[in-house]
Structure 1
C-alpha cells in the first residue's frame, strides 16, 4: 500500500507550524561560500499516521550534511499585549524551534494532516569542490519502501568568508548548566558541559564570553542570590586580601581552545543602578564567608579597598596571560537615567584601575556616554539613533525582551527574517559588537527558581518565548534552535558583505544592498518578506563570484 506523504523544500526562514497550512512556496536551490554553513528544510505531512520514516541522503556533499528534526516547543507567553504587526501569530501553543538529532532507532513520525519539518545543514568547512551539487533527500520506510523525495541544488562558490570582525557575545550562564544537569559547580562534569556549550557558541559566531570573576549580579532579585560561580579564589587576612587565579586560568584556557577570542569580565556592581557589590565569597581564618553582596554599599570604603587590592592583581594576571587586547570590563547592566549618580560613582572607582581597558555596558540613554561615564556604550537597537547621529565610534548594540516593536529580534512568534536582517543592519552601520543576555538562561525571572526549558520557554511568564535562551540542554549536550541557526546566517551575511566590499568598495555594496528600497535599511525599517533576504544573498554571492 502506498502511503501518502506530501513533501516540500522550503528555506531556513520558514517556520513550519503543525496546526497551520504551509503557504510558503518551494525553494529548491541556493548558494554558499566554501567555509559557510547552509541550511534548508523539507516540510512533510501525511493523510494518516506514519511511523519509522527514515531519511536517506544521496549527494557528493553527504559527509558534510546533518539532518535534524524540527521539534515543537510550548509557548504560553508568545508576546506582549501591545505587540506590533510583524509577527506570525499571538496564540499560545506549539512553536517550531528545537533541532533534535534524528532518532536512529525510531525514525521520523508523520502525523495526520500536520505539517512537520526536517532541518538540513550543509557545513562546508574543509575540503569541498566548488560547483553545483545535487542533494537528494529520500523518505523511506525501514525496508526501503519509497515514501517521497526532494531535490535541492547547492552551488558552492570558490571563495571564503573573511574572519568575523564583529565582537559577539550571548551571555553564558554557567550556573544554569550546573543546576539543570545537577552537577557540582566546577566539578569535572561541569567543566565538560561548559566546554560543550562553549563549542556550540563558537560554532555559531560567538567569539566573546561572559566570564564570572565573581557570581554575575544579573537578573537577580534584590536580596536574592544565584548559585556561586566564582572563578577567583579570595582569602582575607586582617585588612589584606589574597587572590588565586587557578580556576580563572582553566576557564581562559578552555575557552581559548574552543575558539573564544574575547573575555568580558562580569559586572563589578549590581544591575539597574550599581548601588551594591556582587556576591563575593572567600575564606577568613579557615572559614568560608560572604564578604560582599546586597548589604554592601558600592561606594563605601570597604568595597573600594577590596577593589584597590583586587584590580591590580587581576591586571597582572591579564598581562601574564597575554590578554591585554582581549578583555573587557563592565560596571553595571542597564542603568536608568535616574541612576546616573550611583553609576557615575561606580564608574569612577573602576576607571581608576582599568583606564587602559575597554569598559562596555548595555545602556540606552545617551547621557551616560555624553558625561563620559562609559567608554563603549551598548544602546539597544531601538535607542541607537542618538549614538549614530553623534558619530560614536566602535558602537555596539543589543536587543532583549523590550525591543519588540519594529526592530530586529528573535521571539518564537516572529518571522525568521526579523532575526536574519540583523547582519545587514550591523554591516550598514559599521557596528563593532553585538550583545544579548540570553544564551542559556534557564531560570525564572530574577533567578528565583530553575525552569525546564523544554516546558517553559518564557522564564516563568516573564519574557516572550525566545528571549531567554538559544540552546536547550540535551542529554548529550546542546540542542540548537532555529533561532540560533538563523542568527548565524545573519552573521554570515555580514561577513559576505565585507568580502564583497574588499572587491568593489563599500559604496557599491550599499547600493546593491539597498537597491529598490524606499528609505534604505535602518534599524526600524527593512524589507518585510523572507524572499527578499534569500534573493539578496544570492545577488551578493553572484557578485562575489563575478569578482573572483
Structure 2
C-alpha cells in the first residue's frame, strides 16, 4: 500500500511538470478540458480549464468533458481514446466517447433555486449521443464526454490516457488534437451497492424500449423480451436495483363459471427473471387503489375491467359498487402472495396501496391498507408519502422536504417501531434550493441527491420518471412537468441513451457508498466531510474544487 502512494505522489508531480496547454484560441478555436460537473451551453465563453485527472475507486466510472469550439462550421467532429496505460504496465479498456446533445427546455421550476441556470437560447445540454461524429455550427461549443468503466479488479495505479480529436471543416480542412488525461485508481472497491434506487420506468409497450422498429414489435414476442433485457441492463448500468412492475398488466387471468378467478404468472416470472439476471434486487408492484376525485377525496380500487392478454383498469370507489373489487383483490392478492412465496420472492416484492396519501384524508388510506393486510398480512408494502402512515408499511418514502420542521422525528419513530426502512423521493417537488434533477439545476446539485441519502441516514431513493417520454423526448415543452422531471434517458437509433444528469446521479450513488465505507473506518472524518458539504436539506457547499478535494480525501483515507 505504501508503494502505491509513493507511486501516486510521483505520478502527480510528473503530470504537473508535463501538463500540456490544452487551449487553442487562434482562429476562434477552443479545445479544453472542463470539469464534467459543469453544464456547457452552446454559447458559454467563461469556461474554466481544468487539469484532466479523475480519482476513482474500483467498480465506478471515470468521466471527462472535453469542449471544442471553432470559428468555422465543422462538418465532422470525431474523437477516440487511443491509449490508456498504467505506470505499472496495466491497461484500461472499454472507454466510451460520446457527444453531449441539447434539448429544448419546457417549464422552469415555479420556485427556482438561487443557483438555477437559465438558457439564453432555450436549450440545455443533456443527452449523450453514441455516434462516430457530429456536426458543429461556427462559434458553438461541443462537449465530448468520456466515460471509462473501472473494473472491480483493476490494478491500483495512475493511468495515462490520450484522446485524439479530429475536426473537419465545411471547406474540407482537417485538424487533429492529441490531449492527455489521467485516471488514478485507488485500492478501494464500490462493487457492492447498499443504497436502494428506484426510478419508475415504462417498458410495457415497445415504444419505451431499445427497438429500431417498435411499431413492428409485438408485446411479449422474442423481440420484445430481447429488448427488455437490454433495457434492464441499462437500468443496472446506472445502479438502479429496484424496478416497479404493473403486475396486473402483465399476468393473465380468467373468470370461471363459478365466478372465481384463475391467475397465470408465467409472463411475470419471465419478466422478473430478466430483471434479476441484469442485477435488479427488488420489485415494486401495483397500486391497489388511487384517489377517485380530488387530492383529499376517497380512494378507489384499481379494478381490471376484463381478463385476458390485454388488461385495462378503472376506478371503483370504496364506498360504492366495491363488492366485486373486494372479491377480485382477495383472490388476486392471495394468489400473488402464494406464488411469490413458492418462488421465494416474497421478501423482494413490495406492494403499493395508494400513491402519496395525504394528511387531508388519512382514514381512506388506513382503511385500504387494513383491507390489504386482512387478506395478505405478510405481504410487504412500500409507499411514497407526505405523512406518517401506519407502522406496518415496510418502506416509507417521504418527499425530501417533508423531513423538515420536526417531521423527521415522527418518521424515525415509526421506522424504529416497525423496524422498516426510510427512503426519500423527489419529483416536481421540492423546488427552491433542494437537490433535484431539473434541467435548470447545476449537475452537482443532482449529484447531491445521494449525499442527502447519507447525511440523513435514508437508505433508498425513488423517482417517478426514468423514461416517461411524452411527445418529443428532446423537447421538454411536450411534458406537463418541470423540464428534466419526467425522464433522464432518451431514445436514439434503437437504443436508450444516457444523459449527463443520469451520469451525475450514478456518481452520487458511488459517493454514498464511499461515505458509508469511510464511516466504518473513520467516522469522525466522514462526519466532518458530510457536514462541510451538506449543511442542511437545502444548503450545500457547491464549490466544485472543494468537492473534488474532499472526494480525494475519502479515497485516500480508505486506501490506508
TM-score (structure 1 length as normaliser): 0.86
Structure 1 counterpart of 2:186, from 157, 175, 188: 157
Q: Identify if the C-alpha distance between structure 1 residues 344 and 124 changes in structure 2 by more than 3 Å, giving closer, same or farther.
A: same
Q: Does 2:493 correspond to 1:468? A: no
Structure 1 distance, partners of 2:554, 2:67, is 27
Structure 2 distance, partners of 1:176, 1:292, is 16
Q: Identify if the C-alpha distance between structure 1 residues 384 and 91 changes in structure 2 by more than 3 Å, giving closer, same or farther.
A: farther
Structure 2 distance, partners of 1:327, 1:274, is 26
For the Cα contact (< 8 Å) 1:162–1:495, is it kept in 2? no
Structure 1 counterpart of 2:551, from 533, 537, 542: 537
Q: Identify if the C-alpha distance between structure 1 residues 509 and 328 changes in structure 2 by more than 3 Å, giving closer, same or farther.
A: same
Q: Identify if the C-alpha distance between structure 1 residues 298 and 24 changes in structure 2 by more than 3 Å, giving closer, same or farther.
A: farther
Q: Which residue of 2 aligns with 1:410?
A: 437
Q: Identify if the C-alpha distance between structure 1 residues 311 and 102 changes in structure 2 by more than 3 Å, giving closer, same or farther.
A: same
Q: Which residue of 2 aligns with 1:224?
A: none
Q: Does 2:268 correspond to 1:248? A: yes
Q: Does 2:404 correspond to 1:381? A: no
Q: Does 2:238 correspond to 1:204? A: yes
Deviations 1:241-279 (A, max 9, x none): 111101111111111111111011121112556622225
CA displacement at 1:336 relative to structure 2: 2.2
Q: 2:476 aligns to what SS in structure 1?
A: coil
Q: Which residue of 1 aligns with 2:464?
A: 437
Q: Which residue of 1 aligns with 2:14?
A: none
For the Cα contact (< 8 Å) 1:280–1:291, is it kept in 2? yes
Structure 1 counterpart of 2:331, from 301, 309, 314: 309
Q: Does 2:525 correspond to 1:508? A: yes
Q: Which residue of 1 aligns with 2:10?
A: none
Q: Which residue of 2 aligns with 1:219?
A: none
Structure 1 counterpart of 2:290, from 252, 267, 270: 270
Q: Identify if the C-alpha distance between structure 1 residues 233 and 471 changes in structure 2 by more than 3 Å, giving closer, same or farther.
A: farther
Structure 2 distance, partners of 1:56, 1:288, is 47
Q: Which residue of 1 aligns with 2:95?
A: 65
Structure 1 counterpart of 2:220, from 186, 191, 197: 186
Q: Which residue of 2 aligns with 1:226?
A: none
Q: Does 2:116 correspond to 1:98? A: no
Structure 1 distance, partners of 2:392, 2:348, is 21
Q: Which residue of 1 aligns with 2:150?
A: 124
Deviations 1:332-375 (A, max 9, x none): 11122223222122111112234324311111123xx2x54744
Q: Does 2:375 correspond to 1:353? A: yes
Structure 1 distance, partners of 2:92, 2:395, is 45
Q: 2:441 aligns to what SS in structure 1?
A: coil
Q: Which residue of 2 aligns with 1:108?
A: 134
Structure 2 distance, partners of 1:118, 1:50, is 14
Q: Identify if the C-alpha distance between structure 1 residues 66 and 208 changes in structure 2 by more than 3 Å, giving closer, same or farther.
A: same
Q: Identify if the C-alpha distance between structure 1 residues 233 and 24 changes in structure 2 by more than 3 Å, giving closer, same or farther.
A: farther
Q: Does 2:176 correspond to 1:147? A: yes
Q: Does 2:55 correspond to 1:34? A: no
Structure 2 distance, partners of 1:40, 1:179, is 29
Structure 2 distance, partners of 1:471, 1:319, is 34
CA displacement at 1:296 relative to structure 2: 5.0
Q: Identify if the C-alpha distance between structure 1 residues 269 and 117 changes in structure 2 by more than 3 Å, giving closer, same or farther.
A: same
Q: Which residue of 2 aligns with 1:223?
A: none
Deviations 1:413-471 (A, max 9, x none): 1100110112222112221211000011013xxxxxxx1212x325x351111100111
The unaligned stretches of length 5 or more in structure 2 are: 1-25, 86-90, 416-420
Q: Which residue of 2 aligns with 1:213?
A: 247
For the Cα contact (< 8 Å) 1:274–1:346, is it kept in 2? no
TM-score (structure 2 length as normaliser): 0.84
Q: Identify if the C-alpha distance between structure 1 residues 234 and 457 changes in structure 2 by more than 3 Å, giving closer, same or farther.
A: farther
Structure 2 distance, partners of 1:23, 1:325, is 50
Q: Does 2:28 correspond to 1:8? A: no
Deviations 1:168-223 (A, max 9, x none): 11001124544683333333333233222221111111111001112xxxxxxxxx
Q: Identify if the C-alpha distance between structure 1 residues 274 and 44 changes in structure 2 by more than 3 Å, giving closer, same or farther.
A: farther
Q: Identify if the C-alpha distance between structure 1 residues 365 and 127 changes in structure 2 by more than 3 Å, giving closer, same or farther.
A: closer
Structure 2 distance, partners of 1:512, 1:288, is 53
Q: Which residue of 1 aligns with 2:448?
A: 421
Q: 2:511 aligns to what SS in structure 1?
A: helix
CA displacement at 1:138 relative to structure 2: 1.9
Q: Which residue of 2 aligns with 1:167?
A: 196
Number of equivalences: 508
CA displacement at 1:140 relative to structure 2: 2.3
Q: CA RMSD in A?
A: 2.5
Q: 2:315 aligns to what SS in structure 1?
A: coil
CA displacement at 1:513 relative to structure 2: 3.0
Range that drifts further, 159-168 or 201-210? 159-168
For the Cα contact (< 8 Å) 2:206–2:218, is it kept in 1? no
